[in-house]
Amino acid sequence: MRPRVVFKRRRHVERRIKRRRLYALLTIISIVLVSSSISGINWFISSLSEEEPAVVMAGVKSQIKTPIKVPFGKVNGSDLILYVPSAIQNVSGIGYHQSFNKKSIPIKPSINQVEGEPSKIEVRGNTRLGRPLEFTMTKRGRGTPLTSSVDITMLEGSDVLSPTDGVVVDVIPYKLYGNIDDFRIEIMADDHGWFKIVVAHVRDIVVVKGERVTAGVTKLAKVRSLNINSQINEYVDGSKDHVHLQVNPL
């Protein structure tokens, strides 16, 4: 066979091999692109089907796990701010009232309050704006300031969070009105060692004496169902459970 013919056949074979390699490479690239597209479509579809955290108002249980710190008052004669002791979606009302303890230190509401009858109360907060209803309840004849303690209504079984940064100084069982089993947690706020914040009407306590707590973050307990007609129930519909807060001198 002549050299020219052999050379032509060799070039023809080499071209066929190159074409096959090119086709194989293009096939592999196509498969990779199709697989990536399918994965992307599947991810997109699955992302559409995922449930997003629900932002709900008071009266409906919330799916939000990270609480948002919301201030509600300041201890008189100090710069200490107190925070709503639960996820805000679980709280429906903040009602100030006279403390039984004559030495309790008044709490200055974050919003100016007025005294009023339950049917005529002037509400200065709004749950639709991300805040519970806030008000000052009528006198109880105890001779103490109208804002010397506060009741905060919550959904049944709500977690009770610390209203301040500080240290738990005591966890005390006692009898409410002399016949109802109850607990109170006492907290000394950081840099405010001359008084303690008392959190009452709680159950399933998860903190101990000496433990550090963080406002709006550390879980203290769960709200207790007292099964009594408390004064705050005249002001707030729905939620009947509440925690009681007051500030006592050490």
pLDDT for the residue 36: 54
Query: Cα separation of 66 and 168, whole Å?
Result: 22
Query: Which pLDDT tens digit goes with each residue over 126-157?
Result: 444 456 778 888 877 788 888 899 999 999 99
The percent of residues in the chain predicted with pLDDT above 70, rounded, is 69
Class of domain 71-249: mainly beta
More confident residue, 63 or 234: 234
Instruction: Determine the average pLDDT of the residues in 76-102.
Output: 90
- Which residues, other chains included, contact 160 with Cβ-Cβ below 8 Å and sequence gap of 6+? 85, 86, 154, 199, 202, 219, 220, 221, 222, 223, 243
Q: Look up residue 234 and give its DSSP letter.
A: G
Instruction: Determine the average pLDDT of the residues in 42-71.
Output: 47
Token pair recorded at residue 159: 């977690």
pLDDT for the residue 213: 97
Q: Where are the domains of the chain?
A: 1-50, 71-249
- Give the confidence band of 81 by pLDDT, cuts at 50, 70, 90: very high
- Give the confidence band of 44 by pLDDT, cuts at 50, 70, 90: very low
- Give the confidence band of 34 by pLDDT, cuts at 50, 70, 90: low
Residue 188 clears pLDDT 80, i.e. is over it = yes
Helix (H, G, I), strand (E, B) or coil at 126: coil
Q: What is the mean pLDDT of the chain?
A: 77
Residue 107 clears pLDDT 80, i.e. is over it = yes
pLDDT for the residue 119: 42
pLDDT for the residue 53: 37
